[in-house]
Amino acid sequence: MHTETFLERTWLVQAFVPAVVVSGPPASGKSTFAALLRERLRWPLISKDAIKEQLFDALGWRDREWSRSLSLASYAVMFSWAQELAAARMPFILEGNFRPGAHDGAFQSLTQMGVRWIQVFCTAQRSVLVRRFVERAHRASRHPGHVDLQSIDEIEAELLHAPLQPIAIQSQLLQLETTQLDSIRTAQLIEQISSAVGVYAYPDAGHNGP
């Protein structure tokens, strides 16, 4: 017999909108986890870097300042899309490097629209984050518009010294430690989220057959 979770009851009775936000510092595994979660839940995934790379392709790329400008534009697009989904009472996933305090107003507006958050904070040892960022900056598959090689010193200082903390929003907070990549822990966390949000609303989620 199925027992409704809290989020299932509030979504159905009070028309709340469940959403997952995947946060964390650069190179902490956010994009990988968010993609796996999307595959399991079959919810729309709005990723800041995915939007930003489309803007690079449409508008071109230049230097670090231009990259910062398109980051701001990407977040604006992200939250606009999220508001549309929330207004339609559709669940969604957000993924990005949400710096503390930078997006408080946007998250508050979504919460006031009835969004109820689960936050997955991805993190790792600082030295591991730095190593991954440098490796990614040299990777051919990384979009050149990010100009990561121009910002290595800046991002390295941030990863080594800035506070690594989740977004200060009202949410059910889960943490994913990725220093040692653990597929079992990742799968367990995805199933925990799946159970919490009541995937029964998408009865074929996570299955290939009828």
* Pairwise CA distance, residues 82 & 89, whole Å: 10
Sign of CA dihedral 53, 57, 63, 67: negative
Task: Determine, yes or no, domain membership for 124.
Answer: yes
Task: Determine, yes or no, domain membership for 208.
Answer: no
Report the number of distinct structural domains present in the chain. Answer: 1
Task: Determine, yes or no, domain membership for 209.
Answer: no
The whole-number pLDDT of residue 209 equals: 42
Task: Determine, yes or no, domain membership for 104.
Answer: yes
Q: What is the mean pLDDT of residues 91-106?
A: 94
* Pairwise CA distance, residues 13 & 70, whole Å: 39
Q: Give the burial class of 155: count Cβ atoms within 10 A of its Cβ; 0-12 exposed, 13-18 middle, 19 or more buried.
A: buried
The domain of 161 spans: 6-196
Task: Determine, yes or no, domain membership for 91.
Answer: yes
Task: Please report where in the chains the tokens 């936050």 appear, as a residue.
Answer: 119
* Pairwise CA distance, residues 63 & 144, whole Å: 10
The string of pLDDT tens digits covering residues 49-83 is 999 999 999 999 999 999 999 999 999 999 999 99
pTM (predicted TM-score): 0.87
Which CATH number belongs to the domain containing residue 59 in this structure?
3.40.50.300
Q: With contact defined as beta carbons under 8 Å apart, do 151 and 63 qualify?
A: no
Task: Determine, yes or no, domain membership for 116.
Answer: yes
The CA angle 79-83-87, to the nearest 5 degrees, is: 170
